[in-house]
Chains A and B, each alone.
Chain A
Amino acid sequence: MLLERWLRSRGYPVIFTEWNSSRLVRRSMSRGKKKNLLTPTTFSLLHAVDFADRLTYQILPPLQAGMIVLADRYAFTAFARDVARGVHPEWVRAVYSFALRPDLTLYFRVPIEVSLERLLAGRAKLKYHEAGMDVGLSTDPVESFRIFQSRVLEIYDELTREFGLRTIDATGEIPEQQRMFRNIVQDVLRDYDSNRAKGNHVTTRSR
């Protein structure tokens, strides 16, 4: 949100897209979650459907038009969460092989206890799937969250190396995080700026 506002205020054309937000799978997803029908594989594939649909309509056209697309979560979320649920790491990478590699991926890293504290401060209880209750690690949601999310964090650390994600320590104060965040983004946008200065608004991109 803060980043989006900042980019806009600097005159950048920005499109924001969020994980699991397409209308297409909403019904299947909520039915699956409510009735606990989802398996690690269908959970993964439904998110892939959502992603493919948003890639077609929300991500590729703005990029072709030379805009900046800000994605709240990307395929890496699937690589971490779905693998923590038990799908094969090579399989989920193959499923998402149609995804465009982002120009920059930032990973906000926060220890389990801090994210638990933040989540529980905001609402009364943890969601079934975010606590990984479907995996059957523990009957206690908080305990299950700890085990499941530690697996997720471990995988993210590996992904950071595999895909060169830029890590931001998300335990600190928000203004400090934003400062780091903006520095990195500004750096990545240098080419974009010089193109814009030359009047090349619409860039052709190689995949």
Chain B
Amino acid sequence: MSRPGRGKSWSGHGLPYLSEKRLPGHLIAIEGTDGVGRSTQIDLLRPWLELEGYAVSNTGWTRSPLLSETINEAKAGHQLTVTTFSLLYAADFADRLEHEILPALQAGFIVIADRYMYTAFARNMVMGADPGWTRDVFGVALVPDLVIYLDIDVATLIPRVVQGKGMDHWESGMHLALGTDLFDSFQRYQSRLIDEYRRLASEFGFITVDARAPIEELQTQLRSHIMNYLRNADPARSGGNGEEKLPASTRKE
């Protein structure tokens, strides 16, 4: 397996046809279930990182120009199997990986990914797809430098979703026929999903933050985790505030 530059690695076989390029940027993934507040937090992170002097690029699940319409159409049809869906999501992911994420990392950007392959791992586990297969399919992915998981319990999640955009067919797992009504199904599906995210958090070493905290407080926590990571990864960039652990002579790039 090839190593795509400083500290980075592929999840599986990667993309063998790409020539070896340096990826000096940073890939930060924000994971967490629907309605947990990912996009609110990401919207607040971007201007802050830009003020800190970083170029920032965002990417989000199902947002690829190649696949997003097809995915929406497929969802409207409610008739795909877990396998077909997973492959659609993987195609969306690969499109964004090659056209957004990797070029931005090459140019030294911080890429903030709203959901990453772990969302597919969690959902597929709950929906009964072979977990080994899901990981093989996403073997093309670059492993993020930092994954922050916004953790929440179902009881806190429910009022947020109801007051927000409401419960939708897919996020309630209605396709799994877990319960007779939307509320019941939402509750069961989301608790299984959250259990799965928590398991993945320990397997893959996510940084878990408590998403029940108020928005500002959560944002402060996210910033401190990101700053911490950037300081270690990029000592040259994070000016001399006396907290640097590495001596200046270890600077390489």
The interface size of chain B toward A, counting residues with CB under 8 Å, comes to 31
* CB-based contact B87/A52 at 8 Å: yes
Report B-chain residues with C-beta under 8 Å of the C-beta of A94: 133, 136-137, 139
Of B34-42, B94-102, B227-235, the one with at least 4 CB within 8 A of chain A: B94-102
Interface centre among B73, B83, B91 (most CB of A within 10 A): B91
Shortest CB-to-CB span from A52 to chain B, Å, is 4
Of A4-12, A43-51, A139-147, A167-175, the one with at least 4 CB within 8 A of chain B: A43-51
* CB-based contact A24/B136 at 8 Å: no
B90 at the interface (CB under 8 A from A): yes
Of B11-19, B43-51, B53-61, B192-200, the one with at least 4 CB within 8 A of chain A: B11-19
A189 at the interface (CB under 8 A from B): no
Report B-chain residues with C-beta under 8 Å of the C-beta of A91: 12-13, 136, 139-140
* CB-based contact B16/A48 at 8 Å: no
* CB-based contact B91/A95 at 8 Å: no
Q: Mark A67-92 against chain B: 1 for CB-CB distance below 8 A, else 0.
A: 00000000000000000011110110
Q: How many Å lie between the Cα of A105 and that of B17 in the bound state?
A: 29
A98 at the interface (CB under 8 A from B): yes
Q: How many Å lie between the Cα of A38 and that of B67 in the bound state?
A: 11
B210 at the interface (CB under 8 A from A): no
Shortest CB-to-CB span from B62 to chain A, Å, is 12
Of A26-34, A118-126, A156-164, the one with at least 4 CB within 8 A of chain B: A26-34
Shortest CB-to-CB span from A148 to chain B, Å, is 13
Report B-chain residues with C-beta under 8 Å of the C-beta of A28: 66-67, 69-70, 91
* CB-based contact A86/B84 at 8 Å: no
Given A25-B70, A97-B133, verify A49-B99 contact (CB < 8 Å): no
Given A41-B15, A56-B84, verify A32-B66 contact (CB < 8 Å): yes
* CB-based contact B139/A45 at 8 Å: no
Given A37-B95, A37-B99, A42-B95, verify A48-B87 contact (CB < 8 Å): yes
B74 at the interface (CB under 8 A from A): yes
B65 at the interface (CB under 8 A from A): yes
Q: How many Å lie between the Cα of A87 and that of B140 in the bound state?
A: 9
Given A86-B16, A87-B16, verify A42-B66 contact (CB < 8 Å): yes
Partner pick for B17 among A27, A40, A42, A52, CB 8 A cutoff = A40
| Interface, chain A (partner B; CB < 8 A) | 24-25, 27-28, 31-32, 37-42, 45-46, 48-49, 52-53, 56, 85-88, 90-91, 94-95, 97-98
Given contacts A37-B66, A53-B80, 20 further A-B contacts (CB under 8 A): A24-B80, A27-B70, A27-B73, A28-B70, A32-B66, A37-B95, A37-B99, A38-B66, A40-B15, A42-B66, A42-B94, A45-B90, A49-B91, A52-B84, A88-B139, A91-B12, A91-B13, A94-B133, A94-B136, A98-B133
